[in-house]
Amino acid sequence: MSVTDPVAVRPPRDPALALWLVTGACWLAMAGLLVTADINIANHDVVIEHSHLWLPLRLLAFSGAWLVMIGAMMLPSTVPMARMFWAVSNRQEHPGPARTAFMASYLLVWIGFALVALAGDTRVHWTVDHSAWLRDREPLILAATLVLAGVYQLTPLKDACLRACRSPLSLVGQHYRTGAAGGWRVGFAHALNCLGCCWALMLLMFATGVGSLLWMLGLTAVMVAEKTTREGARLVRPVALGFIASGVLIAAPVFLG
């Protein structure tokens, strides 16, 4: 390729600033929804049992609010992969469609997870409604979710997905193709690894409530640290033990009280 080729000499663009700006806007939006109580459109209890909206509108509002939450919590940990994909796709004549497809596939995977989790939570609600024992011991749901998240942290699948998330060059090298289809391919592969790494942590948002900014901040810090910092892999075990211990402490009074 000639050095005078406009594709070859086009200066690379760093997407980090744009991603951090979107992240900041999403955090502000979440805070605004919380202050105005509009966060209830994404509250699983409201969506499942208390909303009077037509079901498709309910799910649309829920998905929109979750999209904002994903932007706030997950985009920071996606910066290294986005930077790698932007740099590689910069040699395409028209990289825009590939980059759009990359981000779209990532967000759609996480929206899909939210809808599947909501469906599962609907079953949990049904079980609680039909079990007097569980109704009297609802803290066990949070306790069980914490223990699940902690145990999953220690599984080989978590380890494999985390290693993939921490190695963007390897993933791009394996899945990269030019064009929008190529962007979708890389974004989808990255999203699946990200999902495999973090789904149990994000499941805690169903147990704690999407309106908990403190949980959002804590979980975001854990996910960003695990996937992007030098010592991130070493945090997995302490976080796992912390979640398991917290779940046991919440469950203990239920059985001992």
Q: What is the pLDDT of residues 75-95, one digit of tens each?
A: 999 999 999 999 999 888 889
Distance CA 179, CA 199 (A): 29
pTM: 0.84
Distance CA 7, CA 62 (A): 41
Distance CA 186, CA 180 (A): 10
Q: SS3 of 240, please?
A: helix
**Residue written as token pair 């290294």:** 80
Can you give the pLDDT at residue 85?
93
What is the Rg, in whole angstroms, of the alpha carbon atoms belonging to the chain? Answer: 20
Can you give the pLDDT at residue 110?
93
Distance CA 41, CA 54 (A): 13
Task: Quote the Cα angle for 243-45-154, to 5°.
Answer: 20
Can you give the pLDDT at residue 42?
58
**Residue written as token pair 């030019």:** 178
**Residue written as token pair 């986005």:** 82
Q: Which stretches does DSSP call E strand in the chain?
A: none
Can you give the pLDDT at residue 180?
92
- Residue spans of the domains in the chain: they are 10-256
Residue 66 C-alpha from the chain's centroid: 9
Distance CA 91, CA 119 (A): 42
Distance CA 190, CA 175 (A): 9
pLDDT in single tens digits along all 257 residues of the chain? 433 344 444 556 789 999 999 999 999 988 887 777 555 565 666 666 656 777 778 788 888 888 888 999 999 999 999 999 999 998 888 899 999 999 999 999 999 998 898 888 888 878 888 888 888 888 898 899 999 999 999 999 999 999 999 988 888 888 888 889 999 999 999 999 999 999 999 888 877 765 578 888 999 999 999 999 988 889 999 999 999 999 999 999 888 76
